Structure 1
Amino acid sequence: MTEIPKIALKGLRKRFGSKQVLQGVDLNICAGESMVVIGGSGTGKSVMMKCILGLIAPDAGRIEVDGVDVTHLKGRALAAHQARFGMLFQGGALFDSLSVWRNVSFALDQSRKGADLRAAAIDNLARVGLGAEVADLRPSELSGGMQKRVALARAIAPRPEIVFFDEPTTGLDPIMADVINDLIVELVRDLKITALTITHDMASVRKVADRVAMLYAGRIVWHGPREGIDATGNPYVYQFVNGRAEGPIKMAVRGG
């Protein structure tokens, strides 16, 4: 019997004005796997993610989670769907006016006692390698790497079934980026979540992915296991993975 994908995208299309961003995306993500979608800026990675979350509606196609069509949910059904997801935003998106522990506990049941919420936040901070001493600090008092870890703790705090990672290593030095990559691998394994990461950082791809898909011009042009990414024979993947200016992917460059 064929396993039902955790997430299935079927012919997903989205246009903004005259620009066709998604042009028929087909992609399956299995339960418990770490899928990484690569591609340059403006290729539709973030739009695809927002469609899955129900933040924007696709023009055509179908989105299924556990075999159930979630393409056009509204109201309470949409809220229940979104509650299944955790999200690590590209810039962290922490609330500057809240302490670290209140940021981490933001998505938890706020009817719980404050002491219980704080204890839960500290437990999640420990999972990302941060001690209780940072709990009462403001995000502005933390380094960029620590802010990213706090944002990761917030993403996993409600124990979501699925976590999305949007460019998780952007703005970090190579060592801290590797620390974040290791944390993602550990959390996916230990919490048994399904992960979708969008990135252009090949070090992240090689560390966190079980499978990789490349999005170009609104379509998946290749997908396969991480180990096969260097021998795909696909010219788009080859150019992207090796960072070559020459190839089928053309970048608009203005002269001085």
Structure 2
Amino acid sequence: MITLTDVHKAFGSNKVLQGVNLTIPRGESMVVIGGSGTGKSVLLKCILGLIKPDSGVITVDGQDVTKVERDAFLARFGMLFQGGALFDSLPVWQNVAFRLLRGSLKRPKDEARAIAIEKLRRVGLKPDVADLYPAELSGGMQKRVGLARAIAAEPEIIFFDEPTTGLDPIMAGVINELIREIVVEMGATAMTITHDMSSVRAIADKVAMLHGGVIQWTGPVADMDASGDPYLDQFIHGRAEGPIEAVR
């Protein structure tokens, strides 16, 4: 579904991506791991076409992302943002139905609200949450609303950006389980970027480690612990000593 071939991206003298090669098969859940500042978010933005690579080719379902019609292309994606990114001035149901109230996916208001309430139910929130505002919700509830919004338009591809950031371990486990269930239910292709190893083990079919601007290691999540790769081994076990230098 998604293929990256020799993708490079630099910002001035800062070479972030230095020849990324990665394939995400249709219907699989790929988790990209790596330290802070290694380019995980840049990689995601390149796939979405929000940032243009300096060189290399990125295709989604065989189409070059730099040459597609933007509205139709982006309509295929759902996104759970790291900080929730809910609109404070809109009630919860309008946040969830945001894409269904405008643009090429527009639905009648009553239909959009009904879909929003159903998606809220799918992530474990009751209908009375629909008319609350984001400020009235806990962090875990806001994350669920963000997840409901990500799936509201039944996307083929879903991106999860640090889905458990800021959550306690129990709520993080709940969100991980929800993500896994929903991705399997929908048959969606999923890409998650995270450095939370509990998320990796709960969500991933395959794992890719981004380090030094390239994919250092990729393979099934079951092979991760016995990979033999010193970079991956240091990262997943959180060791201070190893080939990855900690920024002090």
| SS, match of residue 176 in structure 1 | helix
> What is the root-mean-square deviation of aligned Cα atoms in Å?
0.9
Matched, 1:12 2:4: no
- The correspondence for 2:159, drawn from 151, 158, 164, is 164
Q: How many matched pairs? A: 245
- Deviation per CA, 1:1-52: give whole Å up to 9, x if none: xxxxx00000000000100000000000000000000000000100000000
| SS, match of residue 131 in structure 2 | coil
- The correspondence for 1:82, drawn from 49, 54, 74, is 74
Matched, 1:65 2:60: yes
CA contact (8 A) 1:54 1:82 kept: no
Q: What TM-score comes out, normalization by structure 2 length?
A: 0.97
Matched, 1:136 2:128: no
1:83, distance to aligned residue in structure 2 (A): 1.4
- Deviation per CA, 1:127-175: give whole Å up to 9, x if none: 1111101000000000000000000000000111100000000000000
| SS, match of residue 40 in structure 1 | coil
Matched, 1:223 2:215: no
Residue identity opposite 1:60 in structure 2: S
- The correspondence for 1:21, drawn from 13, 16, 20, is 16
Q: For the residues of structure 1 that align with 2:6 and 2:71, how far apart are their CA atoms?
A: 24
| SS, match of residue 171 in structure 1 | coil
Q: For the residues of structure 1 that align with 2:67 and 2:82, how far apart are their CA atoms?
A: 26
Residue identity opposite 1:166 in structure 2: D
| SS, match of residue 21 in structure 1 | strand
Residue identity opposite 1:80 in structure 2: A
1:109, distance to aligned residue in structure 2 (A): 4.4
| SS, match of residue 126 in structure 1 | helix
Matched, 1:98 2:93: no
Match in the other structure for 1:234:
229
- Deviation per CA, 1:93-114: give whole Å up to 9, x if none: 0000000000000011445332
Q: For the residues of structure 2 that align with 1:112 and 1:216, how far apart are their CA atoms?
A: 43
Q: For the residues of structure 2 that align with 1:151 and 1:68, how far apart are their CA atoms?
A: 28
1:194, distance to aligned residue in structure 2 (A): 0.4
Q: Percent identity?
A: 65
1:41-56 paired onto structure 2 within 5 Å:
41-56=36-51
Query: Quick check: 101-110 or 18-27, which moved more?
Result: 101-110
CA contact (8 A) 1:54 1:73 kept: no
Residue identity opposite 1:73 in structure 2: K
CA contact (8 A) 1:13 1:24 kept: yes
| SS, match of residue 195 in structure 1 | strand
Matched, 1:108 2:97: no
- The correspondence for 1:151, drawn from 129, 134, 146, is 146
Query: Can you give the 5+ residue segments of structure 2 that lack an aligned partner in the other structure?
Result: none
